[in-house]
Amino acid sequence: MDAIRFSGAEGVEIDVTVVGGAGHVGLPLALSFCDQGLNVLIYDINPAALADIRAGNLPAVEYDAQPYLDRALASGRLFMTSSDQDIPSTGAVILTIGTPVDEFLNPVHKAVQGCIDSLLPRLTDGQLLVLRSTVFPGTTQWLDRHVAESGRSLKIAFCPERVVQGYAIRELHNMPQIVSATTPEAEDAAAALFGKLAPEIVRVKPMEAEFAKLFNNTYRYIQFAIANQFYMIANNAGVDYFNIHQAMTHNYPRAKDMPKPGLTAGPCLFKDTMQLSSFAGNQFNLGHAAMLVNEGLVLYVIERLERRYDLAGMKVGLLGMAFKAEVDDVRASLSYKMRKMLALHAGKVLATDPFVSAKDDPTLLPLDQVVRESDILILCTPHQAYRDLDVGNKPLIDIWGMLNRAPI
């Protein structure tokens, strides 16, 4: 697709540029600032996603965002470009690009550096540059040094995104915003900017903010791992874990946050736990243990099924391929690990998902076909659409406790 250029806006002063603004984090943020009356430029290297947005379509499921997009397009305050030549020399610039880990489970620093280096020539001294992506601890200080070594003087801040995917619009306006920066002036500028959205600003130092974000996600990853480990222990003993969960949590305040088991996946929790582990010299035993439990749940399910069924002679249907319920995002979804591993153990594997488009996975089949043709079904993603599903007398494996509670 051709590049999309920032045009038709001569004389417009951009207040905020969101780099990676067509992404899951960037778009709701851009729309929220636009809704506050700011002139917003989305800069993203994905022109197809920009074309979608310009046509009034959200590139990914984001609840409550459609009216924001409609208003932003009608307002004439939302601009888009896929060319770094259009980055303005005024206004705040916020980085929301992906920050994955590599095949060694270490952060890919060059993605952030490459992006910064493409922006630097466009920016003027005194401009506010905010890191919002989840970064390896020390990245904000590195950026400060890197900018200074380039002979430049920018206001550098790190203001992490902590929304839960799919519900950013709601949470951006309801949750406190952590703000950190390398100078008091930068901190004040970042606090003033995010104060337009967040009800509360929490000011800390950059390394504290970087750890706060990673600790938040890692804590959640470990909580899910505990739930998954308890589930496997109870299940191995032939006991209904969901009865235990009910007993543990009913009117008992100290266990009220205990999650239920499930496939713990997606683009953030695993990789942020691994970033933290990388920072800790691979000596983060609890994080690695959580990873083994969460990733191992897929293999546990298959092993348990092999004890009861002749999988090699069966067709297995997977219900749900998105990494979590009610979204269309397949990034790092454990449903795909399930499918890959079952390909080695089962006769055939069929898969379906009401949210995931053929563009993201052309192999998916309609739900009724998967139910009809499968000998056994596994609930991989607990979408509400499966709540009242009738599969006749076919076995339906549910580790989430949403449909049936039988031990597997």
Ligand X SMILES: NC(=O)c1ccc[n+]([C@@H]2O[C@H](COP(=O)([O-])OP(=O)(O)OC[C@H]3O[C@@H](n4cnc5c(N)ncnc54)[C@H](O)[C@@H]3O)[C@@H](O)[C@H]2O)c1
Q: Which of residues 92-111 bind ligand X (CB under 6 A)?
A: 96-99
Of 122 and 348, nearer to ligand X (C-beta) is 122
H or E stretch covering 155: strand 155-158
C-alpha 337/C-alpha 345 separation (Å) is 13
Nearest distance in Å: CB 114, ligand X: 6
Cβ(103)–Cβ(56) below 8 Å: no
49 binds ligand X (CB under 6 A): yes
Reduced to 3 states, what is the DSSP secondary structure of residue 308? helix
| Rounded CA separation 130/87 (Å) | 14
217: how many CB neighbours lie within 10 A of its CB? 21
Torsion, Cα 59 64 70 71, to 10 degrees, reads -140
Whichever of 178 and 350 has its CB closer to ligand X, that residue is 178
In this complex, which beta carbon is closest to ligand X, that of residue 76 or of residue 114? Answer: 114
Q: What angle do CA 26, 359, 44 make, to 5 degrees?
A: 25
Cβ-contact 382, 400 below 8 angstroms: yes
Each residue 150-169 as x (binds ligand X by CB under 6 A) or -, in order, gives -----------xxx-x----
Q: Which of 286, 315, 123, 317 is nearest to 219 (CA)?
A: 286
- Which of 162/205 has CB closer to ligand X? 162
Query: By C-beta, is 47 or 317 nearer to ligand X?
Result: 47
Tell me which residues in 18-47 interact with ligand X (CB under 6 A): 19-20, 22-26, 43-46
* Cβ-based nearer residue to ligand X, 98 or 259: 98
User: What is the distance between the alpha carbons of residues 210 and 404, in angstroms, rounded to a whole number?
Assistant: 41
The contact mask relative to ligand X for 223-262 (x = CB under 6 A, - = no) is ----------------------------------------
The correct pick among 38, 147, 198, 268 for binding ligand X (CB under 6 A) is 268
Q: Tell me the closest approach of the beta carbon of residue 143 to ligand X, in angstroms.
A: 14
Residues that bind ligand X (CB under 6 A): 19-20, 22-26, 43-46, 49, 96-99, 115, 133-134, 161-163, 165, 267-268
